[in-house]
């Protein structure tokens, strides 16, 4: 297994528990990254975020400030829009944007979406559509449950 921390821009007081595979990303001040986590190039993570173990954050993901990403959260940028993986054709990939003060429960999966500020995503949820209203969301597909 080849794991490394390479070409990462760290803010102040960032903690990374190894082994972790981080490359070409930016992690804001006072953030935490747990072990067995992969954060790919171009990912932007804001300040005061907590990324728990075994999470995968792929290219084209931006995470705001004060966010919590639970254990085993998976971000997806390839929707297999042509019936198969993009096979390196990054023009087929789509971005994901997470607002500020967003908490994502363990084992959630996020397709390429935009999530507004002040949202809680329940554990195991599958987010398939943009979330534009603050509140709590859960299920597969994730649906609005109630205000926070």
Write the CATH number for 53: 2.160.10.10
Residue-by-residue pLDDT tens, the chain, 148 positions:
566 999 999 999 999 999 999 999 999 999 999 999 999 999 999 999 999 999 999 999 999 999 999 999 999 998 888 888 888 788 989 999 999 999 999 999 999 999 999 999 999 999 999 999 999 999 999 999 999 9
Residue 110's domain spans which residues? 5-146
Q: How many domains is the chain partitioned into structurally?
A: 1
**CA distances from residue 146 to 79, 110, 141 in whole angstroms, order as listed:** 28, 20, 16
Residues 6+ apart with CB under 8 A from 87: none
Active site residues: 84
């Amino acid at each position: 297994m080849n794991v490394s921390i390479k070409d990462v821009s760290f803010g102040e007081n960032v903690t990374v528990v190894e082994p972790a595979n981080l490359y070409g990303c930016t992690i804001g001040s006072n953030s935490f990254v747990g072990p067995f986590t992969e954060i790919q190039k171009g990912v932007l993570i804001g300040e005061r975020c907590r990324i728990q173990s075994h999470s995968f954050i792929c290219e084209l993901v931006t995470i705001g400030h004060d966010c919590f990403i639970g254990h085993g959260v998976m971000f997806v940028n390839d929707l297999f829009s042509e019936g198969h993986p993009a096979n390196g054709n990054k023009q087929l990939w789509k971005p994901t944007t997470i607002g500020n003060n967003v908490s994502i429960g363990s084992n959630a999966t996020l397709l390429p979406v935009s999530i507004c500020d002040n949202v809680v995503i329940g554990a195991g949820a599958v987010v398939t559509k943009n979330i534009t209203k603050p509140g709590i969301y859960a299920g597969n597909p994730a649906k609005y449950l109630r205000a926070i």
